[in-house]
Amino acid sequence: MKTYLECVPCLFRQALSASRWATEDAALQEEIMRQAIGHVSRSDFSRPPPFTAREIYRLVGKISRNHDCFKEIKHRSNELALGFYPELKRMVEESSDPVAFATRLAIAGNIIDFGANSDFRRDDIQRSIDEAMHVSLPEKVMERFRRAVSLAQHILYIGDNAGEIVFDKLLIEQLLPQSIIYAVRGFPVINDVTLVDAEETGLNSLVKVIDNGSDVPGIVLDQCSKAFAERYEQADLVIAKGQGNYETLNEEKKRIFFMMKVKCPVVANDVGCPVGSMVIKENRADQAG
Amino acid sequence: MKTYLECVPCLFRQALSASRWATEDAALQEEIMRQAIGHVSRSDFSRPPPFTAREIYRLVGKISRNHDCFKEIKHRSNELALGFYPELKRMVEESSDPVAFATRLAIAGNIIDFGANSDFRRDDIQRSIDEAMHVSLPEKVMERFRRAVSLAQHILYIGDNAGEIVFDKLLIEQLLPQSIIYAVRGFPVINDVTLVDAEETGLNSLVKVIDNGSDVPGIVLDQCSKAFAERYEQADLVIAKGQGNYETLNEEKKRIFFMMKVKCPVVANDVGCPVGSMVIKENRADQAG
């Protein structure tokens, strides 16, 4: 997905927010904003928003000298989500349709974003879980998803956020014993998952976890490591979580199921649903059988 | 008031919105955004936001070749507000405290902003009027305002938006026969009042109306005409409507009463009240008697 003009104010909103997470020094915050503005003025809008955002987050890290300003937030998000895990796992297992229920929960977990207030986040997660209990995903897409999983030789599951990774684990448990690799970002960027989060949540003892070698908050293939690119090529089914992965992979030819909470009007318009929706979407619906 | 970093995303939101009002050509919209970004990256953040915004609106006009893209909106806003006028005038005159009631209405009228949907705006104005019926402004400030009006030799009333000007008229009628000059912008910018609006609403047959010679959506004195600067100097009381005038005049030493609906977190923080508040605020409270 290209960078729309609507993304411009949002990129600067993100730059401001990240600069404040990274440093309390107002002069450095202003320097980050100045350089972010300069960068965006030169950026290629045909590239997806996370490609431009990556450069902004690099500036935040470089200028503030704080390259992982969401480290503590990510840790707390994982702890918080792990607190929900045992009960949710029991509910999934007792459900009449564990795959469908775990899919809804995996999407619900995508609500976790870098908020300041962990109490707010707890309520927010609880609301999202409650929604997952009652929402129904399109049965045709779910049928195609089940079939794709059962036929797949190599599933690549691309994670999005810390905390959310625990909800991914609930779904992955239901997709096993299929061959699944879980991919995380190569470097810290916003609250996106890295290897640290896979370790903290025990996902790495369930499936193989690889990093993509990149600090883009999405998957821009020409920015990823060769090792990741090979795994991506090899995969005959990709599950991609969250907007960043959608924005960067939605024009790919590979069979991908996107799962996300829609958080902005640009993606909502692209997907064709309201902001706030829980979405499972296949990018090759025309070729699906 | 300086330009805060929070203003940066908002400036680009305004740039995008105005570019879409001005032209349907996506290439021109992108060009406007590119040049706006470049401009903001070089701008002086110690200057108030309307000073930077002015340059953005100039770019919109120059690139789209549409220098008054809110012309129709302004006309419709005036018509809409004039529709409310007779009933409001009757209510003011029948009120137990016409000055206080008209002041609340003048502030309520500041809700009028450049929305697309006139039905929405009508409801919005009605809600704001309803609020004005019930809200109470701080009695001490109102007392100082009444006293300042009664003692003033030369009142300069600086308008803000089209439509809102009709609500200004209701207040001005209650302040007469004091000597009042009403000031408008020198050139079209957003939906700010110009001489056209004073004519459309008949304000120019009630008091003398002057323009400030500038296209800043606020009052940056070194950008105004000499004629306006003289009127400003001469005034011993200024009434300034709306955020743009507040952002540009709040550090002035002159006795000014600001009246506005607070519309953004930055001004809310500066004024010390929640977004949405109806505010009358004196900038020389320490020296007031």
pLDDT tens-digit map of B13-71: 999 999 999 999 999 999 999 999 999 998 999 999 999 999 999 999 999 999 999 99
pLDDT tens per residue across span A197-217: 999 999 999 999 999 999 999
CB contacts of A47 in chain B (<8 Å) are none
How big is chain B, counted in residues?
A: 289
- Average pLDDT of span B233-255: 97
- Average pLDDT of span A53-73: 96
Q: Do A12 and B9 touch (CB under 8 A)?
A: yes
pTM of the model: 0.88
How much of chain B, in percent, has pLDDT values that exceed 90? 90
Q: What is the pLDDT at residue A119?
A: 58
Please state whether beta strands A155-158 and A180-184 pair in parallel, antiparallel, or not at all (unpaired). Answer: parallel
Can you spell out the DSSP letters for A196-242?
A: HHHHHTTGGGTSEEEE-S--SSS--GGGS-HHHHHHHHH-SEEEEEH
- Average pLDDT of span B94-109: 97
Q: What is the pLDDT at residue B116?
A: 41
Q: Give every CB contact of residue B90 below 8 A, 6+ residues apart in sequence.
A: none
Predicted confidence (pLDDT) at residue B151 exceeds the cutoff of 50? yes
Residue A60: pLDDT band by 50, 70, 90 thresholds?
very high
**Top-confidence residue, A185 or A134:** A185
3-state secondary structure B94-158: HCCCHHHHHHHHHHHHHHCCCCCCHHHHHHHHHHHHHHHHHCCCCHHHHHHHHHHHHHCCCEEEE
Q: Which residue does chain A place closest to B29, by CA atoms?
A: A5
Instruction: Check if the beta carbon of residue A36 is closer than 8 Å to that of residue A56.
Output: yes
Q: What is the pLDDT at residue B112?
A: 85
> Which fold, B7-64?
Helicase, Ruva Protein; domain 3 (1.10.8)
Question: CA of B253, closest CA in chain A: separation in Å?
Answer: 28
Which of A6, A7, A8 should be substituted to probe chain B, the one whose Cβ sees the most B Cβ atoms within 10 Å? A8
The candidate with the shortest Cα–Cα distance to B262, out of B284, B238, B246, B251, is B246
Predicted confidence (pLDDT) at residue A272 exceeds the cutoff of 50? yes
Distance CA(B142)–CA(B287), nearest Å, equals 15
Predicted confidence (pLDDT) at residue A244 exceeds the cutoff of 90? yes
Residue A289: pLDDT band by 50, 70, 90 thresholds?
very low
Cis peptide before B177 (omega within 30 of 0): yes
Q: Which residue does chain A place closest to B33, by CA atoms?
A: A5
CB contacts of A29 in chain B (<8 Å) are 5
CATH of domain B71-287: 3.40.50.10880
User: Domain-by-domain residue ranges, chain A?
Assistant: 7-64, 71-287
Estimate to the nearest angstrom the gap between the alpha carbon of B125 and the chain centroid: 15
SS3 A264: coil
Q: Do B30 and A5 touch (CB under 8 A)?
A: yes
Question: CA of A200, closest CA in chain B: separation in Å?
Answer: 35
Measure CB to CB from residue B41 to each of A10, A16, A37 and give the nearest one.
A37
Q: Which residue does chain A place closest to B34, by CA atoms?
A: A41
- Average pLDDT of span A92-110: 97
Q: Do A9 and B13 touch (CB under 8 A)?
A: yes
Q: What is the pLDDT at residue A15?
A: 94
pLDDT tens per residue across span A217-238: 999 999 999 999 999 999 999 9
Residue B115: pLDDT band by 50, 70, 90 thresholds?
very low
pLDDT tens per residue across span B60-101: 999 999 999 999 999 999 999 999 999 999 999 999 999 999
Q: Which residue does chain B place closest to A35, by CA atoms?
A: B41
Residue A121: pLDDT band by 50, 70, 90 thresholds?
confident
Predicted confidence (pLDDT) at residue B158 exceeds the cutoff of 80? yes
Predicted confidence (pLDDT) at residue B257 exceeds the cutoff of 90? yes
Q: Give every CB contact of residue B246 below 8 A, 6+ residues apart in sequence.
A: B1, B240, B258, B260, B267, B271, B281
Q: Do A5 and B41 touch (CB under 8 A)?
A: no
The candidate with the shortest Cα–Cα distance to A168, out of A92, A218, A109, is A109
Q: Do A8 and B33 touch (CB under 8 A)?
A: yes
Question: CA of A184, closest CA in chain B: separation in Å?
Answer: 30
Same fold, A7-64 and A71-287: no
Residue B164: pLDDT band by 50, 70, 90 thresholds?
very high
Q: What Rg do the C-alpha atoms of chain A give, in angstroms?
A: 18
Distance CA(B198)–CA(B208), nearest Å, equals 10
Question: CA of B17, closest CA in chain A: separation in Å?
Answer: 9
Predicted confidence (pLDDT) at residue B113 exceeds the cutoff of 80? no
SS3 B261: strand
What tokens does B252 get? 């002035």
Q: What is the pLDDT at residue B289?
A: 40
Question: CA of B5, closest CA in chain A: separation in Å?
Answer: 7
Q: Which residues of B touch A (CB under 8 A)?
A: 5-6, 8-10, 12-13, 16, 19, 29-30, 33-34, 37-38, 40-41, 45
Distance CA(A145)–CA(A155), nearest Å, equals 12
